[in-house]
Amino acid sequence: MSNLKNGGRPPLTYQSFVNIAGEPPEPVVEEYSVIPLIGDTGEYELFPVPKLEELGYGDISQEDVPLFRGGETEALKRMRESLQDKEWVAKFEKPKGDPSAFLKPATTVLSPYLKFGCLSSRYFYHCIQDVYMSSKMHTKPPVSLTGQLLWRDFFYTVSFGTPNFDHMKGNKICKQIPWKESEELFVAWRDGRTGYPWIDAIMIQLRRWGWMHHLARHSVACFLTRGDLFIHWEKGRDVFERLLIDSDWAINNGNWLWLSCSSFFYQYHRIYSPISFGKKYDPNGDYIRHFIPALKHMPREYIYEPWTAPLSVQEKARCIIGRDYPKPVVDHAAASKECRDRMGEAYASSRLGGGDPAIKGKKASNSRQRKVSEYAPDPSKSKQPKKSR
């Protein structure tokens, strides 16, 4: 047992994971044209690809599904297209990407291919390394492109070594938080009807594409949990698990634990604004207009807060708030304050007993009342680069 790295325990921070993991090995070069046989029966059976209805997704719109053509050939084509722009690869910094970019997303959009095994993560990693070799400089983990793949393995490792990783109860690295029950608020979030266009557009993109940018996922996960609605991360996790085309048990649970400040990340006072965060990337609201046609004609100054538009403006935009598009389900200023207070109380009681052993006993600077920037673990502005991703 003594030769096990880290005493056989999963490292709980990204940096310690990277130090322990070292450089990923070379990919397997052998190419297979038939499925290799495993076991000694010498037989295997091929099944036809099941239809979406057979998998229980009959209710999902097929409109945008062809966005992700399946298979390894498509995966390799997309990977090569992404890596073609060597400067983009070398300068890639995850926190700087634009979550509202939907015509040309700001990241590789290879997650569905990695999830289904159409693309080998090791092969992808080494292809990125080849680009780095021919570049004068390149960004480094955690923000670089290789750094993204290491996040994947970080969550795989922690989830494998953590009993009840996908639950709050019985999960030693998860803060015990008395989340609220509200089916009405949950359904509004799930169905993209919160009345906050930035949040709703992201949830509609999730339902239609099965994919959204990482920071868009941050926004809606924060809003559901510790930012506004104070609803259990497990409920949001279930929605993502069902609707994401890249849905992955370890990564999804790991990121929900992170975003809800239940584990890994504890700065619960830093809340994404459902108004100003998206606006800073897309002031005209093109992303919102694309996914929420009801708001298509809303003037730019009201697109993120349409309930503030005078009735005459709403009439002209052919969108009456409360009729054609919902009123906000909560007042963000009041709701986020209440969430911070509740998180503070939960953290204080988990210092007394239970909670995350990694931070237990430490003076939690995050539970102090600080001047709160209106939104956001904006990782590009974070003073804690190690946490940026």
Ligand X SMILES: Cc1cc2nc3c(=O)[nH]c(=O)nc-3n(C[C@H](O)[C@H](O)[C@H](O)COP(=O)(O)OP(=O)(O)OC[C@H]3O[C@@H](n4cnc5c(N)ncnc54)[C@H](O)[C@@H]3O)c2cc1C
Binding residues (CB under 6 A) for ligand X: these are 94, 107-111, 114-115, 148-149, 151-152, 155, 213-214, 217-218, 221, 240, 244, 246-248, 251-252, 255-256, 259, 389
> Measured from the CB atom, is 152 or 269 closer to ligand X?
152
CB closer to ligand X, 256 vs 287:
256
- Rounded least distance, CB 352 to ligand X, Å: 29
Judge whether 321 and 303 are in contact, CB under 8 Å: no
Residue at token pair 């906000």: 328
8 A C-beta contact, residue 27 and residue 123: yes
Measured from the CB atom, the residue of 109 and 294 that comes closer to ligand X is: 109
Which residues are 180's β-sheet partners? 231
Closer to ligand X by Cβ: residue 149 or 173: 149
CB of residue 37 vs ligand X: minimum separation in angstroms?
A: 29
- Concatenated DSSP letters of 181-193: P-HHHHHHHHTT-
Q: In the bound complex, what is the minimum distance in angstroms from residue 213's beta carbon to ligand X? A: 6
Tokens encoding 86: 């060597």
Q: Is 52 left (phi over 0), alpha (psi -120 to 50) or beta?
A: alpha
Number of Cβ within a 10 Å radius of residue 216: 26
CB of 77 or CB of 327, closer to ligand X: 77
How far is C-alpha 195 from the chain's CA centre? 21
Burial (CB count within 10 angstroms: exposed 0-12, middle 13-18, buried 19+), residue 132: middle
CA 125 – CA 42 distance, rounded (Å) = 33
Q: What angle do CA 339, 345, 349 make, to 5 degrees?
A: 145
Count how many residues are written for the chain. Answer: 389
Within 8 A by CB and 6+ apart from 127, the residues are: 79, 83
Q: Which residue's CB is nearer to ligand X, number 212 or number 298? A: 212
In order of 19, 188, 199, 261, the CA distances from 204 in angstroms are: 39, 12, 9, 25
Q: Which is nearer to ligand X, 111 or 367 (CB)?
A: 111
Q: Is the peptide bond before 328 cis (omega within 30 degrees of 0)?
A: no
- Distance from C-alpha of 349 to C-alpha of 176, rounded to nearest angstrom: 9
For the CB of residue 97, give the shortest distance to ligand X in the complex, in Å.
Answer: 7
Closer to ligand X by Cβ: residue 10 or 326: 10
Torsion of CA 143, 257, 4, 362, to 10 degrees: 90
Q: Which is nearer to ligand X, 215 or 330 (CB)?
A: 215
